[in-house]
Amino acid sequence: MELWQELVRKSVSSVDELVKIFGIDAETSKKMDSLFHTRINPYYLGLIRYPGDPIWLQCTPNIKELQDDGLPEDPLNEDGDSPVPNITHRYPDRVLFLVTSQCSMYCRFCTRKRKVGDSSKISMRWLQAGIDYIASHKEIRDVVISGGDPLMLTDYMLEKILSALREIKHVEIIRIGTRIPSVLPQRVTTKLCNTLKKFHPIYINTHFNHPWECTPEAQKACEMLADAGIPLGNQSVLLKGVNDKPEIMLELVRKLLQMRVKPYYLYQADITKGSNYFRTPIQTGLEIMDKLRGHTSGLAVPYFVIDAPGGGGKIPILPNYVLYHDEEKIVLRNYNYDVYEYPEIKSTKRKTKKSTEFLRRKRRIFPVKIYSKDKEIE
């Protein structure tokens, strides 16, 4: 048994352990465990500095999860866009491929908590069906492997999956979504890196939410993956009490670049059942972005996105830099709130009735009734 497997085996996961370590009422603990399992490996548990800190909040069950918040279990309609089990095909040229239900640490804000931790809902029995679907759809050039956490699979199983995908000629890019570098960096071994680099181009999007996760162990894991020729991006989720301050996010993105990880996305938290207490006002995210742009390298600035409810995909949102725009000029403000004018050039293209009708036809509104109007974010 490898070290990382030993750490997973020693994870806090039972009701009795939650009662003993975190002082959670036994009956409450049972109710929460029935909704979403707990797993906190010893490495990540050791990052907690005090009760209620940013690490604690991400991994420790909270009684607020039991509140009836009226939110959906599948806010992104992944199941609705699933032609075969384990596959979500939403965008024209790429698919999401779920290969395991297991994670080394179960995040309390998980969008996929309806499935994660339950091997009957993300079953390895359906892997071949997913591979067959990808092979039969020649428009698919990009496969995002997720779960659960794909790096929870053994090197042997990962190699089998990657090898099968690489045999499909129209698959150009393989991406792996994983929290392993931030929550269990011991999983990143020389053997794993040697396995992954056989199948380039491979990309990894990892998931750091707070600077305290940027430990020497995490840095070593990221450097090993980068040395194997794997570009690394980071997808953070904006979480109340964890990283909803500009100075925290600024420290995080700077540390990530030092670890050879490019900040890629900052997600507004999804409207997932049992995790409403993590959500922040959207303005919080816009203010954070305003404090990043111009105050640090552009390389460190992620896209702030909302994954649209109902399956609309990722939509980037920005602070308002455009103050005025007409046929003669655009008026802009910079990061320091200085105002500038830039002269417009007259377009040689003539708007036609056809083009305006096309724009009007394409502009559709998708109302998503999520919860009652009088319900507010706490």
Q: Give pLDDT, residue 351.
A: 54
Q: Give the pLDDT score at 348.
A: 67
Whether 270 is catalytic is: yes
Write out pLDDT tens, residues 44-69: 999 999 999 999 999 999 989 988 78
Q: Going edge to edge, which strands form the sheet with 322-325? A: 322-325, 329-333, 339-343
Which one of the listed residues 20, 191, 314, 375 is annotated catalytic?
A: 314
- Summarize the confidence of residues 298-315 as an average pLDDT: 95
Is the pTM here over 0.85, yes or no? yes
Produce one character per residue of 193-204: b if its CB has 16 or more CB atoms within 10 Å, e if not: bebbeeeeebbb
Domains of the chain: total: 1
Distance CA 86, CA 97 (A): 6
Considering the chain, what percentage of its residues have pLDDT values greater than 90? Answer: 79
Residue 350 falls inside a structural domain: no
CB 257 within 8 A of CB 297: yes
Q: Tell me if 273 is assigned to some domain.
A: yes
State mean pLDDT over 28-48. Answer: 90
Strands 202-206 and 173-177: parallel
Residue 103 among the catalytic residues: yes
The b/e string for 258-287 (b: 16+ C-beta within 10 A; e otherwise) is: ebebebbbbbbbbbbbbbbbbbbeeebbbe
Taking only the tens place, the pLDDT of each residue in 282-297 is 999 999 999 999 999 9
Give Cα separations from 327 to 169, 346, 349 (angstroms): 47, 7, 13
Residue 230 has pLDDT above 90, yes or no: yes
307 in active site = yes
Confidence of residue 91 (pLDDT cuts 50, 70, 90): very high
The pLDDT of residue 190 is above 80? yes
Per the residue annotation, which of 74, 270, 279, 290 is the catalytic one?
270
State the catalytic residue, choosing from 94, 175, 273, 279. Answer: 94
| Annotated active-site residue in 43, 59, 106, 107 | 107
Which is nearest to 183 in space by CA: 46, 61, 300, 62? 46
pLDDT number for residue 34: 80
**pLDDT value of position 251:** 98
Q: Is residue 269 part of a domain?
A: yes
Q: What is the DSSP letter of 167?
A: T
pLDDT at 118: 87
pLDDT at 374: 47
User: How confident is the model at residue 358, as a pLDDT?
Assistant: 46
Q: What pLDDT shows up at residue 377?
A: 43
Q: Is 16 a catalytic residue?
A: no
State yes or no: is 350 an active-site residue. no
Which listed residue (59, 110, 214, 222) is catalytic?
Answer: 110
Of 15-24, 137-146, 157-166, 334-343, minimum mean pLDDT range: 15-24
Look at residue 61 and tell me if it is in a domain.
no
Q: Mind listing the pLDDT tens digit for each residue in 253-276? A: 999 999 999 999 999 999 999 999
Residue-level pLDDT at 124 = 84
Question: Of residues 31, 64, 90, 245, which has the active-site annotation?
Answer: 90
Q: Considering the chain, what percentage of its residues have pLDDT values greater than 70?
A: 92
372 domain residue, yes or no: no
The pairing of strands 173-177 and 313-316 is unpaired
Position 331 scores a pLDDT of 97
Residue 114 lies in a domain: yes
For the stretch 314-347, pLDDT in tens is 999 999 999 999 999 999 999 999 999 999 998 7
The verdict on whether 175 is a catalytic residue reads: no
Cis, bond preceding 70 (omega within 30 deg of 0): no
Q: Is 290 a catalytic residue?
A: no
Type of residue at 30: K
Best CA proximity match to 62, nearest among 28, 98, 11: 28
- β partners of residue 307: 314
CATH of the domain at 167: 3.20.20.70
The maximal CA–CA distance of the chain, rounded, in angstroms, is 72
Decide: 304 and 317 in contact? Cβ < 8 Å: yes
* 331 in any annotated domain: no
Per-residue pLDDT for 306 more than 80?
yes
Does residue 100 fall inside a structural domain?
A: yes
pLDDT of 365: 54
- How far is residue 207's CA from residue 182's CA, in Å, rounded to a whole number? 7
Confidence band of 167 (pLDDT split at 50, 70, 90): very high
Closest among 371, 377, 372 to 75, alpha carbons compared: 371
Domain housing 282: 67-316
254 is a catalytic site residue: no
Place of tokens 């690489």: 166
